[in-house]
């Protein structure tokens, strides 16, 4: 199967199952393999959330928290797609802010709603085709995400960050290892085989 046929397979499956992007299968696999969300209902931060598959998966997987507490906060430069959510994004336990995760107002809005038990980032820079440039931009984004982990991920919390592998990514994994009981690199099956993206997981924040 070529990567393009594979892209069609995952994208069509996503549409059939009511998700705007194929990326949902990456989160499902990470969730199934690592038990990322833990045993008690989590409080989650989803960075780089648009068009919204991961957020939709989380909101469908977990019922609203009793007392209407926040279940999920999310941010992206782009808005969320409302094509498949059937009103789920209107849930009171969901907060979304459109903006740059590096900006002060976005940071304040999200940190102020923490601490979170799970931090997810599928944020990816626009690519240029130059692997060195693209990896550098991806690592700069991942650094920002690590700052969110330091600021508003609760002790014991778990994290998954998308990273383009290349010069500097092993250092990032090492820095995750210093902060978490376990650190892993994992490439889900739904990633295109020719892509150099992977996910770095931090399990059990110290
Ligand atoms: C692969 S998509 C995320 C897909 C999403 N997880 C889903 O399931 O629908 C990557 C996203 O990262 C976002 N992004 C990239 N840089 C960002 C930044 N600095 N701040 C916020 N979002 C960013 C892009 O706008 C894009 O929507």
Summarised one tens digit per residue, pLDDT across range 38-75 is: 888 899 999 999 999 999 999 999 988 778 799 999 99
CATH number of the domain that residue 60 is part of: 3.40.50.150
CB atoms inside a 10 Å sphere around CB 97: 17
What percentage of the chain carries pLDDT values higher than 70? Answer: 97
Q: What is residue 98's three-state secondary structure?
A: strand
Active-site residue, from 137, 162, 187, 205: 162
On the question of pLDDT at 187 being above 70, the answer is yes
Give residues (CB < 6 A) around ligand 1: 20-21, 23-24, 48-54, 75-78, 100-102, 122-125, 141
Q: Which domain holds residue 120?
A: 3-205
Task: Band the pLDDT of 194: cuts 50, 70, 90.
Answer: confident
Q: Give residue 7's pLDDT.
A: 52
The helix or strand, by DSSP H or E, that contains position 33, with its residue range, turns out to be helix 24-34
Q: How many domains does the chain have?
A: 1
Report the residue among 124, 141, 147, 188 best suited for mutation to probe ligand 1: largest number of ligand atoms under 8 A from its CB. Answer: 124
Main-chain dihedrals φ then ψ at residue 128, nearest 5 degrees = -105, -15
| pTM of the full structure | 0.95
């Amino acid at each position: 199967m070529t990567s393009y046929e594979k892209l069609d397979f995952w994208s069509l499956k996503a549409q059939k199952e009511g998700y705007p992007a194929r990326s949902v299968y990456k989160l499902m696999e990470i969730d199934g393999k690592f038990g990322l969300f833990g045993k008690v209902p989590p409080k989650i931060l989803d960075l780089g959330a648009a068009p919204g598959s991961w957020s939709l998966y989380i909101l469908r997987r977990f019922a609203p928290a009793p007392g209407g507490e926040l279940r999920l906060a999310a941010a992206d430069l782009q808005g969320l797609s409302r094509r498949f959510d059937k009103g789920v994004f209107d849930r009171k336990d969901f907060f979304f802010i459109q903006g740059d995760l590096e900006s002060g107002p976005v940071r304040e809005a999200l940190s102020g709603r923490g601490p979170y038990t799970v931090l997810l980032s599928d944020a990816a820079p626009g690519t240029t085709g130059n692997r060195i440039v693209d990896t550098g931009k991806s690592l700069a984004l991942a650094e920002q995400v690590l700052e969110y982990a330091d600021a508003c991920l609760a002790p014991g919390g778990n994290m998954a960050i998308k990273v383009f592998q290349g010069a500097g990514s092993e250092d990032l994994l090492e820095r995750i290892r210093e902060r978490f009981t376990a650190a892993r690199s994992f490439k889900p099956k739904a990633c295109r085989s020719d892509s150099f993206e992977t996910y770095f997981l931090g399990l059990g924040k110290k």
